[in-house]
Structure 1
């Protein structure tokens, strides 16, 4: 059985290397908003399933801030299908969705409340709604 090899475009490789898993723009929007609301939190606790982006230990609440494309959200950005290497990306995103669900189940089983904020929810026009959502979750 031969292993399929693919060549990668150096520009595309550079773009993919630049994709961050922490400190993203949507995550920073949520962090600044939560902090301005007076809540304090810890970042990316490695001892919790999925390393939630924001962790409110005494409240036993965790927030994930997910990119719509990378985590398979059902918005227009999340529904985009890549043209290059499409099968790989479908499988990759499906694995991400499955992993997210497993992590959420594990956190809830351990007594944590979980909120997922999607990248599309952090846009300026939705900021008041985002603040209400966060306040309801954290109070």
Structure 2
């Protein structure tokens, strides 16, 4: 192993099967938002950035919601560090985190409000925070 590839085909296959969208966390948050009367778009392309999407978007208000997986996005509480092929994994996960920072900065520059949550956060808390931000943006004197 030279660190440029996954440690085994079995590991690679298992990682490919991991849900990238419509995770349990996403479904729960979306259900709560929808039940409260909020309408959103799913997996909206990030303007000006190829191959990047917003998990839950409110385009009219320019609110982007990301629900990040603890392993793939480096949660400070729950991230794990694989021991097999550690250098390859460290590089891969560091790139993911850098891409998250770059995406957030790009959207903010475009006038979006970016909300990032970890998959372990309670869906009720996430939905409440999204609702609070959207309500604040609707207040007179705030941007559209």
Q: CA deviation at 1:31?
A: 1.1
Distance 1:87 1:41, change over 3 A: same
Is 2:37 the counterpart of 1:38?
yes
> Structure 1 residue runs of 4+, over 6 Å off?
none
Q: Secondary structure at the match of 1:53?
A: strand
How large is the RMSD of aligned CA atoms in angstroms?
2.1
Q: Provide closer, same or farther for how the CA distance between residues 138 and 22 of structure 1 changes in structure 2, counting only shifts above 3 A.
A: same
Could you tell which deviates more after superposition, 19-28 or 104-113? Answer: 19-28
Which structure would you say has the larger RCO, counting Cα contacts within 8 Å and 6 or more residues apart? 2
1:117 aligned residue: 117
Which deviates more from structure 2 when the two are superposed, residues 82-91 or residues 5-14?
A: 5-14
Alignment length (residue pairs): 131
TM-score with structure 1 length normalisation?
0.83
Query: Gaps spanning 5+ residues in structure 1: where?
Result: none
Structure 2 unaligned residues grouped into runs of 5+ = 136-144
Q: Which residue of 2 aligns with 1:67?
A: 69
Cα separation, 2, equivalents of 1:104 and 1:96? 12
Give the distance between the partners of 1:129 and 1:30, measured in 2 at CA: 9
Partners in 1 of 2:5 and 2:85 — Cα distance? 10
TM-score (normalised: structure 2): 0.80
Matched, 1:133 2:129: yes
Task: Find the counterpart in structure 2 of residue 51 from structure 1.
Answer: 53
SS in 2 for 1:120: coil
